[in-house]
Chain A
Amino acid sequence: MDIKLERASYIYPNSSINSYESLRNINISIEAGKWISVIGHTGSGKSTLMKLLKGLIAPTTGHLLINGRVNELSKKGKAQIISDIGLVFQYPEHQLFETTVLKDLVFGPKNQGIEMKEVNQRAKEMIKLVGLSEEYFQKAPLQLSGGEKRRVAIATVLMMNPEVLILDEPTAGLDPLGSKLILQLIHDWYKAGGGHRTVIFVTHEMNEVAEYSDEVLVMNNGEIAFLDSPLSLFLNHDYELKEFGLDTPDTVKLLQLIEQRFGDYIKVESLQEEVVLREVIAYFKKQGAEV
């Protein structure tokens, strides 16, 4: 599924508490099959943009295009939820409300009117995908640990079989192991789509950005500042990112430190930790050999 925003803006009413989260002149095209990370300081408009893409709010001006077609309702300024896009809010476990995990899982697809047989089949797949067993079906969401609740909450969205998955800081507040599990499950879901699934991933963790993304979208003051590959963004625009109050991944810091000290820029094909470590070690081995 291709998503496009053309000259879109979203202005909150003046009296609204969220008014600083307004968006201006957003032009963006998201092709199917990409993993896009979204970064920006608090209040830069990230959350508003996610709601706009999901169709929870209609753009004040401009259009949202799905597979090249303008949404008819959005022309009239009305919001229409796009069911093929899954949106996982911040702290999604706060939205669990049923007495059992299974009931919460089937809630979404049931609202969509999907046949129970199909829904139950999906529940079995999804609980496995998020690394839990069917024994969890009859547990109360409240009994689960923080990390488990988060995984169930993400599964409730995956149950609706989206083509695009938007996640707003899905690892916030979790311990390193919990975060790793979440990232892994999202990645598994993404890969299982065979290049047709899209992930839009809002985060403050630059190391997560470096590890997973094809492209990085940088929001600043309600506008898109950059949309670029991680490699080019972090190596060429680190100064601007600092201005926006954003950090760079550790791998970038390492490459830059080596460049400053040794005057050599080590060429890497990505900013993933494993790739950078490999190149850096190879570089120093060579250095050692020369000495």
Chain B
Amino acid sequence: MLSFDNVSFAYGQHLVLKNISLQINKGEFLAIVGPNGSGKSNLSKLANGLIQPHLGKVLVDGVITQMPKSLREIRRLVGLIFQNPEDQFITTTVFDEVIFGLENIGVDPDKMKSIAEDALKKVEMLSYKGLEPHKLSGGQKQRVAIAAILAMKPKYIVFDESTAMLDPEGRQNIITLMQQLHTEGITIIHITHHMEEVLVATRVLVLKDGLIVADGTPASIFNNNIESNELEVPLALKLKQRLRSTGIKVPEQVMTLEGVVDYLWTSS
């Protein structure tokens, strides 16, 4: 379990996170949304000890992130995928990139090759193994970053707006990969501005001005907070609202266009 206990974080005088308490359970697919500057990124960096809370504490499987000795293990357990594909490609080839993390956590050199190749196979990048970063698209680089994290056998992966700089195809690939990893038991935390990406999550957190303003299933969030949180409302929900106001009672839990049209078909 990832838990934030009364966590506050500030840049100088500016409080970015205000007394946040939050538990993220194993097996969850948590989406975090909220306007720029709401503190989402700080939450992700706190999760693997890249930054430390000024008040409160962050615990990963019961281990506190402030302990310098446990940092390496915490960073192995909580993988972090950033927004910019170019700036997180540290080495000169796809294969070396996966090896880098393995070296850091002190894996036996004889086992590295097979671990790295398995991870690359999982993200369908094995055939690109010898390529340099400037020969890859943004989406491919993000997949390599995911492989580099997977090779370290994490329990949690935080995607910090990792789909923001990708084209639709690249984005869809990453979302599919997230869902696949989630079914394999990895806890996924996905920070995004794209509401259709939020719909695949099991739980949604809305952050605003350093506070959690909503926490629940996608259905409950969108049904109750549609106007208030400056969220982009998906077409399916607008349609649902309009239909409800004309007397066609589409159920609350229906979240997609398919769902709405299917409901209308079966009820007509």
Cα–Cα distance between A285 and B243 once the two chains are bound (Å) = 9
Q: Which residues of A contact B265 (CB under 8 A)?
A: 261-262
Any chain A CB within 8 A of the CB of B167? yes
* Alpha-carbon separation in the docked complex, A257 to B239 (Å): 13
Structural contact, A245 and B169, CB atoms closer than 8 A: yes
Cross-chain contact B268 with A287 (CB below 8 angstroms)? yes
Say whether chain A's binding surface is mostly helix, strand, loop, or mixed.
helix
B48 shortest CB reach to chain A, Å: 23
B262 interfacial by beta-carbon distance below 8 Å: yes
In the complex the two chains form, what is the Cα distance from A281 to B250 in whole Å?
Answer: 13
Shortest Cβ distance from A285 into B: residue? B246
* Range for the number of chain A residues in contact with chain B: 35 or more
- From B24-32, B106-114, B181-189, B230-238, the one touching the partner chain is B230-238
Instruction: Report A-chain residues with C-beta under 8 Å of the C-beta of B170.
Output: 42
CB distance A175 to B193 under 8 Å? yes
A145: contacting residue among B34, B37, B262, CB under 8 A: B37
Q: Which of B220-240 contact A (CB under 8 A)?
A: 230-232, 234-236, 238-239
- CB contact under 8 A between A250 and B235, given known A178-B36, A245-B167: yes
Query: Which A residues are in CB contact (< 8 Å) with B83?
Result: 173
Contact B138 A42 (CB under 8 A): yes
Q: Can you list, as one digit per residue, whether each of A1-44 has a CB less than 8 Å from chain B (1) or not (0)? A: 00000000000000001000000000000000000000001110
In the complex, the chain B residue whose C-beta lies closest to that of A178 is: B36
Give the contacting residue for B235; candidates A174, A204, A273, A287; CB below 8 A: A273
B238 touches A277 (CB 8 A): yes
Indicate if A146 sits at the interface (CB-CB under 8 A).
yes
CB B250 to nearest CB in A, in angstroms, measures 10
Q: Which of B166, B169, B261 has the most CB of A within 10 A?
A: B261
In the complex, whether A81 has a CB less than 8 A from a CB of chain B is no
* Contact yes or no, A177 B230, CB < 8 A: yes
CB contact under 8 A between A251 and B231, given known A174-B36, A245-B167, A291-B268: no
B199 CB-CB contact with A under 8 Å: no
- A95 CB to nearest B CB, Å: 17
> Do residues A284 and B169 form an inter-chain contact, with CB atoms below 8 A?
no
Q: Contact between B168 and A204 (Cβ–Cβ < 8 Å)?
A: yes
Q: Is the CB of B167 within 8 A of A42?
A: yes
B253 is an interface residue with CB less than 8 A from chain A: no
Task: Give Cα distance in the complex from A258 to B164, angstroms.
Answer: 30
Contact A172 B164 (CB under 8 A): yes
Complex: chain B residue closest to A273, CB-CB: B235
Tell me, yes or no, whether A280 is within 8 Å of chain B by CB.
yes
Chain B nearest Cβ from A61, distance in angstroms: 27
Task: Pick from B166, B232, B243, B261: contact of A258, CB below 8 A.
Answer: B261
Q: Which of B134, B231, B236 contacts A176 (CB 8 A)?
A: B231
Most chain B beta carbons < 10 A, residue from A147, A176, A178, A207 = A176
- B257: interface (CB < 8 Å): yes
Taking the nearest CB of chain A, how far is it from the CB of B191, in angstroms?
A: 11
Give residues in B with beta carbon < 8 Å to A: 34-37, 83, 134, 137-139, 161, 164-170, 193, 195, 230-232, 234-236, 238-239, 242-243, 246-248, 257-258, 261-262, 264-265, 268
The 7 A-B residue pairs with the shortest CB-CB distance in the complex, in nearest-first order: A176-B232, A245-B169, A250-B235, A257-B261, A261-B265, A175-B35, A247-B168
Q: List 22 A-B contacts (CB under 8 A).
A: A41-B167, A41-B169, A42-B139, A42-B166, A146-B36, A146-B37, A147-B36, A172-B164, A172-B165, A173-B83, A173-B164, A175-B35, A176-B35, A176-B195, A207-B235, A250-B236, A251-B235, A261-B265, A273-B235, A284-B264, A287-B264, A287-B268
